[in-house]
């Protein structure tokens, strides 16, 4: 089952310069799989055009000029009933104030008031306006009614000479992430999921290390997917170029030993562990305190094994906890993965194929075989890492439910 976007989104542009980005948001939402309809306030059309919005939305734009149809339809009612989620991007200070006061004077606030099921505001304004107690009180009021917010963010402001500040509308990609979050069923609510990601670095002097090309994308996708499904998520990450996912507690580590300690201290809180990190199996016996000068001839580095984190978690696993590991194999994949599953006392293992071009290190895609202790194999096929993560979380969800039922029966 894919959890790629599904749902109906009304994107409403308010009257700010950030409305320039609204067509990009519509496009990104459609690319993510959502059905969209665009609406714009009269003022928004000073900053973007109806044509740009219509092309991006792939359909007509709801404007105030066409608010009431000659045959008697009212657009605010139709949009409010159609949408699973209404995204106001950009949301202006005035728009927030009208919504908080229940003033249905324009198409956007009328749609909000007409009962749009859920509303996500993406504010964009001058930082003073954002920080003003009036705006903050309006935001609080809307939040109390269950409305959600994304941004504003800190960065360069649109008006010339205004420099930087907290007032930029979040980028379309970030807004899409929040949309996904709001529309994902919260089937992991109440659970804590501990995820590892990325490589580890085993230093033999302060600037040189043994590592591997893991990008961390698989583990980050798992952390984000678990967050969107309502879990509390702790992500223990080796060095990556990826930004910290919002709404996730991120613990950055470098060495396998640090990852081991970080995991062990948090394991008791975890209902499930997704061990996606590519932990280096070896570390140099010694780390020289200074950079080692170049020497002529053959040089050797003595290596010792790093602690096997997952095996240790398997030893400490308590009834009810779910452990998922990964196996990266270039040959005899299923047998070797199965052996690791047994040895480390796992509930599930995801077998990867690092030498297949499309699912190699760093790819946006992955293809895994999910093997359980009964030997059953589920082949995911090539999918986005997010979809693979969701499939693993579906299995974790079922395992947690089963373990809970077993415990209740005891």
Q: Which residues bind ligand CTP (CB under 6 A)?
A: 256, 275, 277, 279, 281, 306, 308-310, 325-328, 340
Q: How far apart are CB 381 and ligand CTP at their closest, in Å?
A: 21
Q: Which residues are annotated as a binding site for CTP?
A: 281, 291, 307-310, 326, 340, 344
Q: How far apart are CB 223 and ligand CTP at their closest, in Å?
A: 14
Q: How far apart are CB 406 and ligand CTP at their closest, in Å?
A: 25
Bond prior to 90 in cis (omega within 30° of 0)? yes
Residue of 126, 138, 212, 366 marked catalytic: 212
Residue 207: count other Cβ atoms within 10 Å of its Cβ: 9
Nearer to ligand CTP, 98 or 344 (CB): 344
Q: How far apart are CB 218 and ligand CTP at their closest, in Å?
A: 10
Q: Which residues are annotated as a binding site?
A: 281, 291, 307-310, 326, 340, 344
Structure tokens at 102: 């229940």
Q: Residue written as tokens 């001839």?
A: 297
Nearer to ligand CTP, 61 or 324 (CB): 324
Cβ atoms of 297 and 319 closer than 8 Å: no
Nearer to ligand CTP, 183 or 322 (CB): 322
Nearer to ligand CTP, 308 or 378 (CB): 308
Judge whether 212 counts as a catalytic residue. Answer: yes
Q: How far apart are CB 291 and ligand CTP at their closest, in Å?
A: 26
**Residue 249 CB contacts under 8 Å (≥ 6 apart), including other chains:** 232, 233, 234, 235
Question: What does the alpha-carbon distance between residue 200 and residue 282 come to, in Å, rounded to a whole number?
Answer: 10
Nearer to ligand CTP, 306 or 359 (CB): 306
CA geometry: angle 14, 17, 21, nearest 5 deg: 80
What residues are labeled active site? 212
């Amino acid at each position: 089952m894919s959890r790629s976007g599904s749902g109906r989104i009304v994107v409403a542009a308010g009257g700010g310069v950030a409305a320039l980005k609204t067509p990009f948001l519509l496009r990104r939402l459609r690319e993510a799989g959502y059905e969209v309809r665009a609406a714009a306030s009269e003022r928004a059309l000073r900053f973007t055009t109806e044509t740009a919005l219509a092309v991006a939305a792939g359909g007509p734009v709801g404007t105030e000029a066409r608010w009431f149809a000659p045959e008697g339809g009212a657009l605010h009612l139709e949009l409010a009933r159609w949408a699973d989620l209404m995204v106001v991007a950009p949301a202006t200070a005035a728009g927030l104030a009208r919504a908080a006061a229940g003033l249905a004077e324009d198409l956007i606030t009328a749609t909000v008031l007409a009962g749009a099921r859920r509303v996500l505001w993406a504010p964009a304004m001058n930082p003073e306006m954002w920080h003003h107690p009036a705006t903050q009180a309006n935001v609080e009021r809307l939040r109390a009614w269950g409305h959600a917010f994304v941004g504003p963010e800190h960065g360069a402001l649109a008006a010339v000479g205004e420099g930087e500040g907290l007032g930029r509308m979040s980028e379309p990609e970030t807004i899409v992430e929040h949309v996904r979050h709001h529309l994902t069923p919260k089937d992991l609510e109440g659970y804590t999921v501990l995820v590892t990601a990325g490589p580890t670095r085993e230093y033999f002097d302060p600037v040189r290390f043994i590592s591997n090309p893991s990008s961390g994308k698989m583990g980050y996708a798992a952390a984000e997917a678990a967050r969107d499904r309502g879990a509390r998520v702790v992500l223990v990450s080796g060095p990556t170029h990826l930004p910290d996912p919002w709404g996730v507690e991120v613990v950055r580590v470098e060495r396998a030993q640090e990852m081991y300690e970080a995991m062990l201290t948090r394991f008791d809180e975890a209902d499930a562990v997704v061990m996606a990190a590519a932990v280096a199996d070896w570390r140099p016996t010694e780390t020289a305190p200074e950079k080692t000068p170049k020497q002529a001839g053959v040089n050797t580095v003595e290596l010792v094994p790093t602690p096997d984190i997952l095996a240790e978690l398997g030893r400490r696993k308590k009834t009810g906890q779910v452990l998922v590991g990964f196996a990266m194999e270039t040959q005899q994949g299923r047998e070797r993965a199965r052996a690791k599953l047994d040895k480390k006392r796992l509930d599930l293992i995801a077998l990867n194929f690092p030498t297949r071009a499309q699912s190699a290190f760093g790819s946006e895609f992955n293809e895994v075989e999910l093997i359980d202790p009964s030997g059953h194999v589920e082949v995911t096929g090539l999918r986005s890492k997010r979809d693979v993560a969701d499939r693993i979380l579906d299995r974790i969800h079922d395992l947690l439910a089963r373990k809970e039922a077993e415990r209740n029966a005891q």
